[in-house]
Structure 1
Amino acid sequence: MKVVLGSDHGGLKLKESIKKVLEEMNVMYEDVGCDCPDSVDYPDYALPVAEKVAKGEFDRGILICGTGIGMSITANKVRGIRCALVTDEYSARMSREHNNANILALGERVTGPGLAEGIVRTWLNTEFAGGRHERRVEKIGALEGE
């Protein structure tokens, strides 16, 4: 599995924590930034992550900002992206099993590092269930004109 990561300044510390989890899990990743605490604009980091996942360059993406809201809104503007803003492990599992989410959004200011690490592990280890959920995901794609 290959994962692409991005954060703004509000998600920088949590992103560094998540990178350690990916390394422990032997997951290959690329970090597209940001890499400093100076104020930046979240769309500048959400868009490249979403585009790389949509193009198939990476299997999944993880985006982190202060709340995860801005990142998730931006990523979901890209055709083929199903970005889920997640704050608990159950939702992480459901976003994969039922929605086949291909990007995870997290908020550093609202989710502690221990919980976030558990969310990431759950999200990466959960497969799409398919079946009746496939029909629903296909309907989402139809809304995008895929």
Structure 2
Amino acid sequence: MKLRVALGSDHGGFHLKMAIKDYLNRQGIANHDFGTYNAESVDYPDYAHKVAAAVASGEYDRGILCCGTGIGVCIAANKVPGIRAALCHDTFSARAAREHNDANILTLGERVIGPGLALEIVDTWLKAEFSGGRHARRVQKISAIEDQYRGREDRVVVPCCHDGE
């Protein structure tokens, strides 16, 4: 299977996204840039949503999002059911995000890390595979939480915190 990667950023992550896009192209990894296409100020949720929807639909296998810190796009992407976006600023976290959490979107902060480290993180994340096993049970529990809230915007379910009481 040839990996397909959706890319997106706001203005704060635009230059980092372009470096990642160039890297993916050099590696022969299929990708699509969902914007933004310049460094003019935009709202990060718009681009995080586009990438997350493309990954959740199965049109793309994985996504990479960049903003100034990586935090905003991570929060926004994780609102889409089926998305497990992980903010990673080191290779250990990137590998663990794939192996343990089956993260399907990587988020990075241009104002936090430089392009050299970012490309190492991207490479590590793209090469890592989900380990399954006990981790699959945990990812299934995350999906069950999503299912509990899906379509229930008018009612928030609060889990009991007191086992046995």
- TM-score tier (shorter): over 0.9
Q: What are the within-5 Å matches in structure 2 for residues 1-146 of structure 1?
A: 1-145=3-147
- 3-state DSSP class of the match of 1:100? coil
Q: Which has the larger radius of gyration?
A: 2
- Whole-Å Cα distance in 2 between the matches of residues 37 and 90 of structure 1? 30
User: How many positions carry a matched residue from both structures?
Assistant: 146
Q: TM-score, normalized by length of structure 2?
A: 0.87
Q: Which runs of 5+ in 2 are unaligned?
A: 149-165
How far apart are the structure 1 equivalents of 2:134 and 2:26? 34
Cα displacement (A) at 1:37: 1.2
Distance in 1 (alpha carbons) for counterparts of 2:106 and 2:55 = 11
Question: Matches of 1:123 and 1:89 in 2, distance apart?
Answer: 8
CA distance in 1, matches of 2:141, 2:95: 21
Deviations 1:89-117, CA, capped at 9 Å, x for gaps: 00000000000000000000001100000
Equivalent-residue separation in structure 2 for 1:24 and 1:126 (angstroms): 19
For normalisation by structure 1, the TM-score amounts to: 0.98
SS at match of 1:29: strand
Inter-partner Cα distance in structure 1 for 2:25 and 2:143: 32
Question: Displacement, 1:20?
Answer: 1.6
Q: Distance in 2 between matches of 1:77 and 1:111?
A: 25
With a CA cutoff of 8 Å and minimum separation of 6, indicate the structure with the bigger relative contact order.
Answer: 1
**Runs of 5+ in structure 1 lacking a partner?**
none
Taking only aligned residues, the RMSD between alpha carbons, in angstroms, comes to 0.8
